[in-house]
Amino acid sequence: MNESAIVERAEALSAQGRTAEAVALTEALVAGPSPSHMALAMHSGALKRDGRSLEALEFDRKAIARFGENPIAWHNLAATLDDLGRAEEAVEACENAFRRGMDAPQTFAVYARALRAVGNHPRADYAYRQALMRAPGDLGVASEFANHLWMITGDLKVADSALDAAYHAGAPPAPLLIAKATLYQAAGDSERAYSLMEKASERMPGEVFVHLAAVEYALRLDRVDMAEAFSRRAETVEPRSRSVIQYSAIVDLAAARPAEAFAKLQGALKDHPNDQSLWGWMAVAARAVGDPLYEWLCDYEKMVGVYDLETPGGWPSLEAFLADLAKELKAVHVYRQHPTNQSMRHGSQSMHMLSGSNAPPIKAFFEALEKPIREHMAKLGQGDDPLRRRNTFDYRLVGAWSVRLKPNGFHRDHFHPDGWLSSAFYVETPDEALQSAERQGWIRFGKPPFITNPPMEAAHHVRPKPGRLVLFPAYMWHGTIPFTTDEARMTIAFDAVPK
C-alpha cells in the first residue's frame, strides 16, 4: 500500500476501536530515515488513540525537527503535551504554532486548556473565546468553556450563556441540552435538570442519549416510574445498545426487579467482557439477588489495598514531604466551584494530567507510587475475575488529578469506567470529622448512586490518613461521607490500566 492508502486504512481501524492495529500499520510509515509529516502525524495520532501519548510525543518531536516551520506540527506537539499534563510546554508550542500562521480553533482550544492548567485564567478565557469565534457551534469547546466559567465564577447564568451562544451558532441540540442539564445538576438544581430532560425526551423521540439522561435525572429524584418510561423510549430507538441495556438494568434495580437486571447485564457482558460500567452494575445486581458473583467481584479485603507511602528521597520525614506537596497542590485549587462533570461536590479539582507536573513534590509523589502499585498488583495475582484477568504486573496512568473538599464536601458514589485500578491518596484530612460516629470524611465502597429496591448501603469503609494510599478496582462503587467540620480534605487520585 502507498502512504495514502495506509493512512486511510489506519483511520478506518481507529474508527473501529482497533487502535493497536492502526499503530502497527503506521509503523511502516515512520520506519525510514525521512518520514513525511503526514506519516509522523498519523503514527503519533494512532499511538495517542491507543493510550500511548508518551510514545506519541517522540514522533511529534521528530516532526518538529524535520518540519519546524509547519504550524500543524507545532499544534500536534502542543496537543500531545497537553494530554500528558505538560502545560507550560504546551503553551509554548501553541504560541510557536501561532507565530507560524496557525489560526485554527482546535489550537486555540488546546491553548485554553494549557493556560488554564498553568493558572493563567484570564488568558484561558481569551483563548476559549478565540476558539469559539472561529467555531461558534463547537459544543465540545463550548461545554469546556461553560465548565471553566462555572468553576471560576460560580455564576450559573454566566456559564449557561456559553451554551446558549453555541445553540444559536448551530450546535447539535440533543447533546447541548444534555450539557445544560449537567450544568444545572452541578449547580444544585436537580429539578431544573430533570424538567429539561423530560421535555427533551418528549420532543426528541429518536435521540437515545436524551432518553438515557432523562432516566438518570429521574432516578436522582427517586422517580422510578418516569425513569421506566424514559428507558422504554430508549429501547424503542436502540434496543441492542450496550448503554440502553445497562440503563434498563439500572431501572430494574430501582423497581425491585434485580433478577431481570442480572440477566440483562450478564448478556451484555458476554459481548463486552472488559466494560467497567457493566461490571459495576453487575456487582449491584449480584448483591441484590444474593448471587456469589458479588463476592467474586467485590472481595473488599483482598481487592482494596491500603498502603502508607514511604518518605520520598530528599525529605527528612513524611510530614515534611506532605507539607510541601500540599503547598504545591493548593496552588492549583483556585476554583470557586466543583467541575460540572465530576463526582465531587463543594470543593475544587485540578483540570489537567497532574502526573505531568514539574513541581518537585508532585514528581516525587508519582515516583513514590511505583512501589505500592506494584506491590498491590503482586498481591492481587492473576485469575478469572475482571480485575485479576487483566493483571499484567505492569501499568500506565491514564488520569491523575487532585481534589480539595470544603466543609460539607463529598464525592457522590461512582466508579471509573476508563480505569482498571483506581485510587485515593490523602494529603490532608479533616481529623476531627474522621472521629465522628458517622465516619464523616471516610471513603466508602459498595453503595450505588441511585435508589435500589431493596436499598443498599455501603459494604466497606476505609479511614483516611495523611500519607495513606487506597487502591481498588475501577468498577467498584466508591464515594465519601460528607464532613461538617470546619476543615479541609485534599487528595490526589489516579487511574491505571494494564500496560
Question: Do residue 285 and residue 362 come from a single domain?
Answer: no
Q: pLDDT at residue 1 above 80? A: no
Question: Do residue 442 and residue 320 come from a single domain?
Answer: yes
Give residue 17's pLDDT band: very low, low, confident or very high (50, 70, 90): confident
CA angle 485, 449, 447 (to 5 degrees): 75
Please report, as a single letter, which amino acid is at residue 18: R
- Of 265, 280, 297, the last residue of a domain is 297
In this structure, the strands spanning 395-411 and 489-498 are antiparallel
The pLDDT of residue 3 is: 85
Question: Do residue 202 and residue 312 come from a single domain?
Answer: no
Question: Would residue 221 count as lying in a domain?
Answer: yes
The pLDDT of residue 204 is: 98
Residue 280 CA to residue 435 CA, distance in Å, equals: 30
Question: Do residue 400 and residue 469 come from a single domain?
Answer: yes
Q: pLDDT at residue 6 above 90? A: no
The dihedral built from the CA positions of residue 12, 14, 18 and 19, taken in this order, carries a sign that is: positive
The pLDDT of residue 429 is: 98
Question: Would residue 372 count as lying in a domain?
Answer: yes
Question: Would residue 149 count as lying in a domain?
Answer: no
- Of 239, 263, 287, the last residue of a domain is 239
Map grid coordinates 437486571 to a residue.
261
Question: Would residue 101 count as lying in a domain?
Answer: no
Reported residue count of the chain is: 499
The pLDDT of residue 203 is: 98
Q: Contacts from 331-335 at CB under 8 Å and sequence distance 24+?
A: 331/119, 332/119, 332/402, 333/402, 333/404, 333/490, 334/119, 334/121, 335/151, 335/152
Q: pLDDT at residue 191 above 80? A: yes
Question: Do residue 481 and residue 334 come from a single domain?
Answer: yes
Q: What are phi and psi of 161, to 5 degrees?
A: -65, -30
Total structural domains within the chain: 3
Q: pLDDT at residue 2 above 90? A: no
Return the half-sphere exposure (C-beta side, CA atoms, 13 A cut-off) of residue 170: 4
- Contact status, residue 364 vs residue 321, Cβ threshold 8 Å: yes
Question: Do residue 327 and residue 452 come from a single domain?
Answer: yes
Question: Do residue 341 and residue 413 come from a single domain?
Answer: yes
Question: Would residue 140 count as lying in a domain?
Answer: no
In the chain, count H helices and then E strands: 23, 9
Residue 254 CA to residue 79 CA, distance in Å, equals: 42
Return the half-sphere exposure (C-beta side, CA atoms, 13 A cut-off) of residue 451: 17
Nine cell digits for residue 86: 505538560
CATH code, domain with 223? 1.25.40
Q: Contacts from 195-201 at CB under 8 Å and sequence distance 24+?
A: 197/230, 198/226, 200/174, 201/230, 201/233
Question: Would residue 32 count as lying in a domain?
Answer: no
Question: Would residue 446 count as lying in a domain?
Answer: yes
pLDDT per residue as tens digits for the range 88-128: 999 999 999 999 999 999 999 999 999 999 999 999 999 99
CB-neighbour burial class of residue 68 (10 A; exposed 0-12, middle 13-18, buried 19+): exposed
CATH code, domain with 417? 2.60.120.620
pLDDT per residue as tens digits for the range 139-187: 999 999 999 999 999 999 999 999 999 999 999 999 999 999 999 999 9
Q: Give the domain extent around 472.
A: 301-498
Question: Do residue 407 and residue 275 come from a single domain?
Answer: no
pLDDT per residue as tens digits for the range 269-296: 999 999 999 999 999 999 999 999 999 9
Q: Would you call 426 helix, strand, or coil by DSSP?
A: strand
Question: Do residue 423 and residue 284 come from a single domain?
Answer: no
Question: Do residue 356 and residue 216 come from a single domain?
Answer: no
Question: Do residue 317 and residue 285 come from a single domain?
Answer: no
The pLDDT of residue 8 is: 87
The dihedral built from the CA positions of residue 340, 345, 346 and 347, taken in this order, carries a sign that is: negative
Of the candidates 434, 426, 433, the one whose C-alpha atom is nearest the C-alpha of residue 404 is: 426
Over the chain, what is the mean pLDDT? 97
- Of 297, 314, 335, the last residue of a domain is 297
Question: Would residue 24 count as lying in a domain?
Answer: no
The pLDDT of residue 33 is: 87
- Listed in sequence order, the residues at least 6 apart from 234 whose beta carbon sits closer than 8 Å to its beta carbon are 208, 211, 212, 215, 241, 244, 247, 248
Residue 242 CA to residue 238 CA, distance in Å, equals: 9
Nine cell digits for residue 196: 429539561
Question: Do residue 310 and residue 269 come from a single domain?
Answer: no
